[in-house]
Amino acid sequence: MKNKKSNIHLVMPFTRFHLLDTLIKCYEPMDIIWHPIMFEGKAGEGAFDKPWIDPLVIQDNLHPKKSITAYFKVNYFIKHHTFIDEDYYCFSCDDDMIEDGVYDAVKQMDDDIVIISLKRGDRIPVAATWKHGTNTLYADPSNVQINSISAQQSFVKGKIFKEHLFNEGFSGADGEMAIHYKESGEQIRYEPDLFVMFNYYEPGRWGKPMKFGKLTSIIIPCHNQADYTKACIESIQANTDDYEIIIVDNGSTPSWHDREFCVRHGHGRTATRPYNTGRRDRDTSLQDRCPG
């Protein structure tokens, strides 16, 4: 049995200084260690004077000519950081965000690697340089392939994170790394009902914004009758602010098949039971993972 929580280190190539105050406000209550990585010419644009923020500044003359800058920065961090072997390290971009409660849930785990799911918003922004889709990338062994998994989904123990560099010349290096972890036989835990939000602060990608730290968690048990569940979600969406929905599919026949609808329209997650476990279990089984 695990005796102590693992700390979480958020490793972040950082350029969007206009989001600095927003990110500090969101991440500070989540009790993590944040490592923003920037070039020295930009370092003076923001104040990183919090004890839980550990910035890494790179000399401007080391700026890569051909490498993908984000991967260069993370590799520089890997080469120069003193790692804590049993802590988790997660690579994220500076316009992403994590759902409330995810870090607390991962801290309770002790697997070498934890892979969660990635929501990708409601629409593809017209002005976007990269036309990333809006489908959710679920944590599942079958999705560990290039273009089906993203770096933001993986929490990796320091003893493993420090041993592997990203391919700086390949845009799919995060998928390549995930494949390497899987094929190397690393101990991987898949958590499809925990979510990170891709490009959450990208203008035009996401619809109604969430207010982190002030969620109402709504558990909806269901058994067949999917149309009623959809109607319930739509009613909550129209009349409730700052919420998450947790769908408990309690042994439906056939099993609940429209998970994407729940995730996209419910700011939520799903849990599937193989058989009907009764009202008491379905109403209480996920309460310990509700941030609201």
**Cα–Cα distance, 35 to 122 (Å, whole number):** 29
CB distance 136 to 263 below 8 Å? yes
**Cα–Cα distance, 82 to 80 (Å, whole number):** 7
Q: Within a domain: residue 87?
A: yes
Do 114 and 259 lie in one domain? The reply is: no
**Cα–Cα distance, 292 to 102 (Å, whole number):** 12
Do 161 and 244 lie in one domain? The reply is: no
Do 144 and 283 lie in one domain? The reply is: no
Q: How confident is the model at residue 192 (pLDDT cuts 50, 70, 90)?
A: very high
pLDDT at 51: 94
Q: Does position 173 have pLDDT exceeding 70, yes or no?
A: yes
**Cα–Cα distance, 96 to 215 (Å, whole number):** 18
pLDDT at 155: 98
* Boundary (domain end) residue, out of 197, 226, 242: 197
* Contact residues for 135 (Cβ-Cβ < 8 A; gap 6+): 120, 260
Do 226 and 110 lie in one domain? The reply is: no
Do 191 and 235 lie in one domain? The reply is: no
pLDDT at 218: 79
Do 140 and 229 lie in one domain? The reply is: no
Q: Within a domain: residue 204?
A: no
Say what the alpha-carbon torsion angle 253, 136, 31, 69 is, to the nearest 10 degrees: 160
Q: Residue 225 — left, alpha, or beta (φ > 0 → left; ψ -120 to 50 → alpha)?
A: left
Q: How confident is the model at residue 258 (pLDDT cuts 50, 70, 90)?
A: low
Q: Within a domain: residue 84?
A: yes
Q: Within a domain: residue 191?
A: yes
pLDDT at 203: 86
Q: Does position 121 have pLDDT exceeding 80, yes or no?
A: yes
18-22, 152-156, 248-252: the lowest-pLDDT one: 248-252
Instruction: List the CATH number of the domain containing 113.
Output: 3.90.550.10
CB distance 227 to 210 below 8 Å? no
Say what the alpha-carbon torsion angle 271, 275, 277, 278 is, to the nearest 10 degrees: 100
pLDDT cut 90: percent of the chain above it:
52
Arithmetic mean of pLDDT, 13-39? 94
pLDDT cut 70: percent of the chain above it:
79
Domain enclosing residue 255, as ranges: 216-289
Do 186 and 252 lie in one domain? The reply is: no
Per the document, the length of the chain is 292
The candidate with the shortest Cα–Cα distance to 154, out of 121, 120, 112, 183, is 112
* Boundary (domain end) residue, out of 166, 197, 228: 197
Q: Within a domain: residue 205?
A: no
Do 161 and 236 lie in one domain? The reply is: no
Q: Does position 283 have pLDDT exceeding 50, yes or no?
A: no
Q: Within a domain: residue 206?
A: no
Do 180 and 261 lie in one domain? The reply is: no
* Boundary (domain end) residue, out of 169, 197, 225: 197
Determine the 3-state secondary structure of 157 from DSSP: strand
Arithmetic mean of pLDDT, 177-204? 92
pLDDT at 1: 42
Q: How confident is the model at residue 11 (pLDDT cuts 50, 70, 90)?
A: very high
Arithmetic mean of pLDDT, 51-71? 90
Structure-token match 């009349």, residue found: 239
Do 183 and 265 lie in one domain? The reply is: no
pLDDT at 164: 95
Q: Within a domain: residue 275?
A: yes
User: What is the tally of structural domains in the chain?
Assistant: 2
Q: Does position 220 have pLDDT exceeding 90, yes or no?
A: no
Label the pairing between strands 154-157 and 88-91.
Answer: antiparallel
